[in-house]
Chain A
Amino acid sequence: MTKRLFAALAALLLAGSLGSAAFAADKLKVGFIYLGPIGDLGWTYQHELARQALVKEFGDKIETTYLENVPEGPDAERAIEQLVRAGNKLIFTTSFGYMDPTLKVAKKYPNVHFEHATGYKRDKNMSTYSARWYQGRYIQGQIAAKMSKAGVLGYIGSFPIPEVISGINATMLGAQSINPDIKVKIIWVNTWFDPGKEADAAKALLDQGADIVMQHTDSPAAMQVAEERGKLAFGQDSEMIKFGPKAQLTSILDTWAPYYISRVKAELDGSWKEENTWGGLDSKMFEMAPYTNMPDDVKKLAEETQAAITAGKLHPFKCPVLGQDGKEIECKGGDHLDDAQILGMNFYVKGVDDKMPGK
């Protein structure tokens, strides 16, 4: 009697697991690894918005899962592997520090496809994607130079890595195209995310005579300080107008949705292959928030610059680019710096009156 009961139970379980396996096979499972909480209002939040756009676009055809607050390092590898074991066939790892863990897991599971944000290591089943944010910074530099009465910009930096350095340089080149004597004060806070410290840095910059706050850190704290002091600022990653309705000039918005949708589409029809995507304004890898709190002529200038960059007529790092010492930087990309030079940028352009940390 007991034996028969067990057999029946086993059969039931088997049927159940087969059923669920068949059910799972119908849907493409897409997994995401997030660095911060989805409510960070910045970097992770923008990836989450794109995931939601995927769900809206594909509905029943896909099933998405995300793991948030995954630290960069050995834990990331376990988290990615967990997504693989749960049956995810396409996995997005959304921060630079996940590069090596992603590669390791990718080698282990050749049948699963991986997408790594902002990195440079790839494999047969691992693509990378990033955005040319420096294009947006160039536009911001022009706006800042037009709007600054003091001629001094305040810049909050996170870490002196190429992405941030190229952002500062693009900003300055944009600003110098309007006002050759523009000055920039840079404060490194050595963190991506510490609202208190970011606010303190913004206050220090304003107290020292800057009248425009620009940031390469993730919280809206600096924007809110500018609003409180009646000064102007640029947002970062996401729309921050709520924290600075009278302060925000524009913001670089990470819009991952079009890319994510195209990749999932490729996965669904079987055309996915390893790629290196570094998209700019033309491919809508990022967008500019509406130009606000500025007169019409400045807005027009910004829109014209944006159109020129989008059309490929204007390159922010157009040669000749002069280094801090006034010497010309080698021009490897024809009439502008090539991608490798921008991706590995470790020098300031002329006019940045600051010493790079660690140099």
Chain B
Amino acid sequence: MELVEAIILSVLAASTPLLIAATGELVTERCGVLNLGVEGMMIVGAACGFGGAWASGSIVVGALCGVLAGTALSLIFALMTLVLAVNQVATGLALTILGTGLSGLIGAGFVGQRITTAPHLHIPLLTNIPLLGRIVFGEDAFVYLSLALIIGVWWFLYRTRSGLILRACGDNHVSAHALGYPVLRIRLLAVMFGGACAGLAGAYLPLAYTPFFIPGMTAGRGWIALALVVFSSWRPGRLVVGAYLFGAVSILQLHAQGAGIGIPSQFMSALPYLATVIVLVLLSRTRRGGSTAPATLGTVFVPDR
């Protein structure tokens, strides 16, 4: 039983950065903007998040630094794609490369330093409940925040007028514009939200996961977050399922190896991606060939006046 608890705790920790980053990207893409720079914004968020926490001694300051760094980087993306109407795919890829280099530069000063990780919640009695206690009442703040974030995004997208307008910009920017909505301004906000989330997700790594900064420490998690958004077919509910599924597979394959279950580790490492492909195929079949993506995803919008 203790092993099950330990596995679930590891899964939650491994899934949280994916969930946070994917939540941000989901909002960005729902508004019609494809930002492939998640990995870049995450790694800069990790560098600045660690730097902030190391200099100030406060995890909260670190998290804020990560959020600000991610947002700042997303503003570059917004300037390129929204104002100058440059190709979104190319700009996103460039943003990742820029972020990787920039994080090394920022982080050069505090490589080799360490901090104490974010504290875990502890409520006397509740946290001590066997099995469930530590899982429900013993996580770090980021885990609760990530769940609050995705619930908030769901509520915003489907239960508010602003959410409806945001989705309208993603599905048909010409109509939204004709109705008098400031498409570019709305997209700017969506891109900034995506950047903030990516920065926070990046900051989670050095603040709560492995309490040090090393260049390249995000190790492709930004790309997984992007895959997750597709996996979820742009729906918050499925995103949560997907994020925990990805986390679970990556942790369970390690445990399977440790327990000597003879499945090739290379196959297990590839499993989440295989799952993404299968889900995509299944989705497109049930929808009779219709894509579930926002209709204007990745297309540039230039207002006629």
Q: A193-B219, A196-B14 are in contact. Are A187 and B258 (CB under 8 A)?
A: yes
Chain A contacts of B62 at CB under 8 A? none
Q: Is A200 an interface residue (CB 8 A)?
A: yes
Distance between Cα atoms of A220 and B213 in the complex (Å): 10
Q: Is A74 an interface residue (CB 8 A)?
A: no
Q: Is the interface of B mostly helix, strand, loop or mixed?
A: helix
Interface residue count for A (Cβ, 8 Å)? 40
Find out whether the CB atom of A39 lies under 8 angstroms from the CB atom of B112. Answer: yes
Q: Is A186 an interface residue (CB 8 A)?
A: yes
Of B254, B259, B260, B265, chain A has the most CB atoms within 10 Å of the CB of B254
B262 → A minimal CB distance (Å): 5
Contacting A at CB under 8 A, from B73-129, are 104, 107-108, 111-112, 114, 117
Q: A196-B219, A197-B219 are in contact. Are A207 and B7 (CB under 8 A)?
A: yes
Interface residue count for B (Cβ, 8 Å)? 39
Chain B contacts of A93 at CB under 8 A? none
A224 → B minimal CB distance (Å): 6
Q: Is B138 an interface residue (CB 8 A)?
A: no
B201 → A minimal CB distance (Å): 12
Find out whether the CB atom of B10 lies under 8 angstroms from the CB atom of A243. Answer: no
Q: A204-B251, A207-B6 are in contact. Are A224 and B211 (CB under 8 A)?
A: yes
Distance between Cα atoms of A219 and B214 in the complex (Å): 8
Find out whether the CB atom of B266 lies under 8 angstroms from the CB atom of A357. Answer: yes
Q: Is A188 an interface residue (CB 8 A)?
A: yes
Q: Is A82 an interface residue (CB 8 A)?
A: no
Find out whether the CB atom of B259 lies under 8 angstroms from the CB atom of A208. Answer: yes
**Closest partner residue, chain A, to B259 (CB atom):** A208
Q: Is A242 an interface residue (CB 8 A)?
A: yes
Find out whether the CB atom of A355 lies under 8 angstroms from the CB atom of B262. Answer: yes
Find out whether the CB atom of A196 lies under 8 angstroms from the CB atom of B258. Answer: no
**A residues near B, CB below 8 A?**
36-37, 39-41, 69, 154, 185-191, 193-197, 199-201, 203-205, 207-208, 210, 219-221, 224, 228, 242-243, 353-355, 357-358
**B residues near A, CB below 8 A?**
2-3, 6-7, 10, 14, 17, 104, 107-108, 111-112, 114, 117, 205, 209-212, 214-217, 219-221, 250-251, 254-255, 257-260, 262, 264-266, 269
